[in-house]
Structure formats: structure tokens, C-alpha cells
Amino acid sequence: MTAHEQLLTQVASKARTTRPWGWASLPDPVDEATLARAEAALGFALPPLLADLYLRTADGGFGPEYGLLPLLDSTPSGEPAAVVQYLTNRESGREDPDWAWPEGVLPISHWGCGMYACVDCRSPQSPVLLFEPNPGDPDQAWFIDAPSLADWLRSWVEGTGWYEEESDDMDLAPWPDHRIRTTPTRAG
């Protein structure tokens, strides 16, 4: 069994036995057509591990805190789906360039208070970023939560994430690509 398959099995096992806030039951996984519609709306492909989570585990409803957002449908509590969040954030960034949302950074889980866990779908490692806008400064709103989606999922499965009560380690490094990825390029 590959490390990818082993992690998917561990995540599925924990997903079946834990319910994040607001989720009464684990939704069914999405089908290939739903994944294709989501990727077409986004304009980019999901990283393979993230796609497999939605295709094989569930359409959201598992993971840390409030759980993964569904791809296209709202959560039971009315939270917009990941694709809707991304498109809305990109549009609002066009209206307020100081808060531009980076292309290819998909919000996958809401932490509350405007905070989101996001996957950088443009990076081969698929790092998970924490968007924390509450300091009010866009240059201080982006952090590296985990160097890869696999690491982020492992920390959830093992109960070692910064969000766990037992963990005092929330010393997250700033995401250095924030300004590079949100500054428009000039035609020259």
C-alpha cells in the first residue's frame, strides 16, 4: 500500500468516527463529473490527494474544527462551498487589491472569525496555508499551516495540529509568496 493510499485509509477511518461542528452525518463522495465541474469553475485541477479525498472519502464534513468544505454545495450550516468561496474571494480581491486573493489558493476549511485553511493548488507540494485576516493587515494574514496537504491531514489524524487543545504550537511561519502571488503582472 502506498503512503497516499495509507493516508486516505486513515483519513476515511477517522472521518467515519468523528463529526465536525454542524455536520450530522458524513456526506457521500462526489463523482468524477462533479469534480470536473468544480475544476472547470476554478480554472485549475485539484491536487491528486485533495481530489481523492472528495472522490473517495466524502464531499466535505470531515477534518479539523468545522471540517472540509464541500466542493460545490453549501454546508448544512449554510457555509458556502470551496469553489464558491474561492470565486467570491477572487472577485472581492479585484474590488480591494490590498486584499487580493492568490490565484490557485483554494479555501478548504473554515476556522471561524474569517479564518480559512487553504490548499495552494499551484504548488506540487500542495501546502496548506492559514488565512487569518483579523490583524487587519493583508501582509500579516497568510501563514504556512503545513508544508503539504498530506502533512496537514496526518496532523489531524494523529491529533497533533496547532488547533488541538493539547498543542501550544501555533508559531506558524508567514507565507512568503503572498505578495508575489497577489501582485498583478504588468504587460510590457
Q: Give 94-129 pLDDT, tens digit per residue.
A: 888 889 999 999 999 999 888 999 999 999 999 999
- Compute the average pLDDT of residues 166-171: 58
Q: Among residues of the chain, what percentage have pLDDT more than 70?
A: 93
- Binning pLDDT at 50, 70 and 90, where does residue 170 land? low
- Compute the average pLDDT of residues 68-86: 89
Confidence at residue 166, expressed as pLDDT on a 0 to 100 scale:
54
Q: Give 127-161 pLDDT, tens digit per residue.
A: 999 999 988 888 889 999 999 999 999 999 999 98
Using the predicted structure, report yes or no on whether residue 179 has a pLDDT greater than 50: yes
Model pTM greater than 0.85? yes
As given in the structure block, the three cell numbers for residue 1 are 500500500
Could you give the C-alpha distances from 180 to 139, 150, 175, 183, 184, in angstroms and in order?
11, 25, 10, 6, 9
Confidence at residue 186, expressed as pLDDT on a 0 to 100 scale:
41
For the chain, how many residues are written?
A: 188
Confidence at residue 187, expressed as pLDDT on a 0 to 100 scale:
42
Pinpoint the alpha helices (H) of 53-148.
Answer: 82-95
- Compute the average pLDDT of residues 51-74: 93
Q: What's the CATH number of domain 3-160, 3.40.50.620, 1.10.3720.10, 1.10.10.10, 3.40.1580.10?
A: 3.40.1580.10
Q: Among residues of the chain, what percentage have pLDDT more than 90?
A: 63
User: Within 13 A of 8's CA, how many CA atoms are on the CB side?
Assistant: 17
Using the predicted structure, report yes or no on whether residue 28 has a pLDDT greater than 90: yes
Q: How many CB atoms are closer than 10 A to CB 143? A: 18
